[in-house]
Amino acid sequence: MNLIGNWSYPTSVRFGAGRLRELGAAARAAGMARPLLVTDPQLAKLPPVERALRVLAADGLAADLFCDVKPNPVAGNVAAGLAALAAGRHDGVIALGGGSALDAGKVIAFMAGQSRPMWDFEDIGDWWTRADPNGILPVVAVPTTAGTGSEVGRAGVITDETTHTKKVIFHPLMMPKVTICDPELTVGMPPAITAGTGMDALAHCLEAYCGLAYHPLADGIAVEGMRLVKENLARAYRNAGDLEARAHMMSAAAMGATAFQKALGAIHALSHPVGALYDTHHGRTNAVFMPYVLIFNRPAIADRIARAAAYLGLTPSFDAFLDWVLALRAEIGIPHTLAGLGVDDAKLDLMSRMAPKDPTAGGNPVPLDEAVCRRLYESALAGRL
């Protein structure tokens, strides 16, 4: 292992029930006087957005609402958001919602002052250095799910409609200036969304922990995030009003995204093409692939997984950890196969070509190529472990 790494943990997080009331103060702390509130069309009709706008108005902040964001955001959503930003002469973005709204809001703020096309800033090499940092507007992030952790991340995932591929837009200054993690906003979340977003948090922690880069800070955060998922996801799934479980899951989500600056891997590399082509829920898709990827990676991660299993209170073995993942998926209604997500083999060749090119593929502890990805897709389609 090469003992060299670049580590970053600068996010300012206001965590706790009821802290949405501090949204106006957070926006002002980020330098905003006229924010654009970015969310999704479903959430725009619900009380959290109404409350957010009311808090901002009470603090004298003139905010407009933008909600043209798909569950898997596309470039057109970013373009529409930029038009709304310019029309309202907004000086920052409040991104409120799940991962789609957070990613879209961050990319809108990032692109506000750029002259180059968005795809010029894909997370490839040092492409982020092409950006004009002075043109990046501040972001305040307010997650309403406990999954992606985008509220503490430096990137946004946007689908290119022309190629049907998910692309990661990255810049260090895309990190939100302030994040408000208010678990009250996740109370009442439907069980299926609770399950999918919670498994997304687990996937982030798991893949970060299994990555081969040297990052002991990320490893510690990731394994504690897995413990919080183990002890709280099924509770939150069973009881939509369990505020304690939802608070712990919100922490686990932020921890996963903090940890995955170390690495992601095959779970995400396989999931991204499926989401782009079939518009599946990202977290549920990750959850389907999780055991198949664990088994594929076993030769490289068995010892690490055994240590994690011990920390989670399981028998210290790879098999015990795998059995726990399978049992958790079953308990919270995650399908065992891609067919359970409405995915068939019609685009198998295309997905197999796309997956090893995904930017997350390089972090997998076992190398990926087209043949390997095809075998993993076939296993997940057939339910063959």
Domain residue extents for the chain: 12-185, 190-382
* Spatial strand order in the sheet of 139-143: 12-15, 178-181, 139-143, 92-97, 35-38, 64-66
With a cut of 80, say whether residue 9 has pLDDT above it: no
| Mean pLDDT within 243-255 | 96
Predicted TM-score (pTM) of the model is 0.94
Residue 10, pLDDT score: 76
Integer Cα distance of 218 and 205 in angstroms: 9
| Mean pLDDT within 71-84 | 97
pLDDT single digits (tens) 281-331: 999 999 999 999 999 999 999 999 999 999 999 999 999 999 999 999 999
Cβ contacts of residue 346 below 8 Å, gap of 6+?
A: none
Is residue 337 within 8 Å of residue 376, measured between CB atoms? no
Helix axes 191-210, 216-238, angle to 10 degrees: 160
What are 360-363's contacts with CB under 8 Å, separation 24+? 360/168, 360/207, 360/264, 360/265, 360/268, 360/269, 360/272, 361/265, 361/266, 361/269, 363/207, 363/211, 363/213, 363/262, 363/263, 363/264, 363/265
Topology match between the domains 12-185 and 190-382: no
One-letter amino acid at 158 equals: I
With a cut of 90, say whether residue 58 has pLDDT above it: yes
Integer Cα distance of 65 and 44 in angstroms: 8
One-letter amino acid at 288 equals: V
Half-sphere exposure at residue 249, Cβ-oriented, CA atoms within 13 angstroms: 36
With a cut of 80, say whether residue 8 has pLDDT above it: no
Q: Please give the biggest Cα pair distance in the chain.
A: 58
Integer Cα distance of 150 and 34 in angstroms: 23
pLDDT band at residue 1 using 50, 70 and 90 as cut-offs: low
| Mean pLDDT within 57-81 | 96
With a cut of 90, say whether residue 11 has pLDDT above it: no
Integer Cα distance of 267 and 285 in angstroms: 9
One-letter amino acid at 330 equals: A
CATH class, domain 12-185, is alpha beta
- What does the CA dihedral 360, 365, 369, 371 come to, rounded to 10 degrees? -120
Integer Cα distance of 239 and 250 in angstroms: 15
Residue 6, pLDDT score: 75
pLDDT single digits (tens) 137-160: 999 999 999 999 999 999 999 999
| Mean pLDDT within 230-241 | 97
The mean-pLDDT minimum among 10-19, 251-260, 326-335 falls in 10-19
C-alpha pair distances (Å), 64 with each of 35, 68, 97, 123, 236: 7, 13, 16, 30, 33
Compute the mean pLDDT over every residue in the chain, rounded to the nearest whole number: 96
One-letter amino acid at 8 equals: S
Q: Is 46 exposed, middle or buried (0-12, 13-18, 19+ CB in 10 A)?
A: middle
- Token readout for 277 is 């082509």
CATH class, domain 190-382, is mainly alpha
Helix axes 243-259, 216-238, angle to 10 degrees: 150
